[in-house]
Amino acid sequence: MGFQDWWHTYDKINLLVNRKYMNYNQRLLRRQFLQVSGLSSIGLLLGGCGLSLFEDKVGKTFEPLNQRVETLIFNPQKLIPEFPASAIQPEALLINTFGDTPELDPVTFRLKINGEVNNPVSLSMIDIQQLPLTSMIIRHVCVEGWAAIVQWGGVRLRDLVALAQPKSNVRYIYFESADGYYESWDMASALHPQTLMAYQKNGQPLSIDNGAPLRLASPIKLGYKQSKWVTRMMLVKELLPYRGYWEDQGYEWFAGL
């Protein structure tokens, strides 16, 4: 069963099965921890760009602990210093694609927000652009080793989430993209004041190659967490077995900067 099947049948998933799945993996990880506990303590902190310092098995063993450490370090209200307009690098933002670039009509486009919420919503671009505009000049960092200083403009993700009235037990948010890409974030990162759903780049309307009509933009996450062509956000209390396109292939899940 692929991610899309999980996504569109989420409300039918038996929560008890998910709990048993999580408990099994926790027991397995404890056993693996005992097997590799002789390693240096530096192995507890995996690379911030999603690259493991050890073999894949060891990286997967320590990933939950790494996530907890990063979560403790992360300050959900601390602002990341921004750059002056003179620092913008117009040509430095490379375009990475997951598949074919989707063709989305901004007139008929809708952003759906649902899941564990009290008020599921479906928003047009006009609805979104009527919310307060936030602009920021930040560094976009790619796991491949390059970076670019970009000005993003859009709506704070926290403002969009608030419209859906999330339930008190929500801890994660999933993003579905028109090209089939999928991603998940912790709610603290999603609600950070500099996490945007952007529709502008460098003062101009976002191009389709850069994720129009809507994409994630934030100075607190690596580039692969910043989904383009976002069409749906789903709020959940537990992570699904599918966590993100690249994460499911071994990349770090938290991916904080």
pLDDT tens across 12-24, in order?
A: 443 333 444 334 3
Higher pLDDT, 69 or 222: 222
Give dist(CA 186, CA 97) in Å, integer.
Answer: 24
Compute the average pLDDT of residues 207-222: 97
Report whether pLDDT(194) > 60.
Answer: yes
Q: In the prediction, which pLDDT does 38 show?
A: 36
- Rounded to two decimals, the pTM is 0.75
DSSP character string of the chain? --HHHHHHTGGGS-HHHHHHHHHHHHHHHHHHHHHHTTS-GGGGS--TTS--SS-HHHHHHHHHHHHHHHHHH--TTPPPPP--GGG--TTT-----SSSPP---TTT--EEEEESBSS-EEE-HHHHHTSPPEEEEEEEE-TTS-EEEEEEEEEEHHHHHHHH-B-TT--EEEEEETTS-EEEEEHHHHTSTT-EEEEEETTEEPPTTTTTT-EEE-TTB-GGGS-SSEEEEEEESS--S---TTGGGT--SS-B-
Burial class for 239, CB neighbours closer than 10 Å (0-12, 13-18, 19+): middle
The answer to whether residue 245 scores a pLDDT higher than 80 is yes
* pLDDT reported for residue 210: 95
Tell me what pLDDT residue 42 has.
28
Residue 221 pLDDT greater than 60, yes or no:
yes
CATH superfamily, domain 85-249, is: Oxidoreductase, molybdopterin-binding domain (3.90.420.10)
Q: In which band, very low, low, confident or very high, does the pLDDT at 99 lie, cut at 50, 70 and 90? A: confident
Sign of dihedral through CA atoms 53, 253, 246, 93? negative
80 φ/ψ angles, rounded to the nearest 5 degrees: -85, 130
pLDDT tens digits for range 168-191: 999 999 999 999 999 999 999 999
Mean pLDDT of the chain: 80
Higher pLDDT, 16 or 219: 219
pLDDT, average across residues 242-249: 96
pLDDT (tens digit per residue) in 35-85? 333 332 322 233 333 333 333 433 444 455 455 555 556 666 789 999 999
Residue ranges of domains in the chain: 12-73, 85-249
pLDDT digits (tens, 9 = 90+) for 135-147: 999 999 999 999 9
Secondary-structure breakdown of the chain: helix, strand, coil percentages, each rounded to the nearest 5: 30, 25, 45
Question: What is the structure's pLDDT at 96?
Answer: 73
| Distance of alpha carbon 210 from alpha carbon 99, whole angstroms | 13
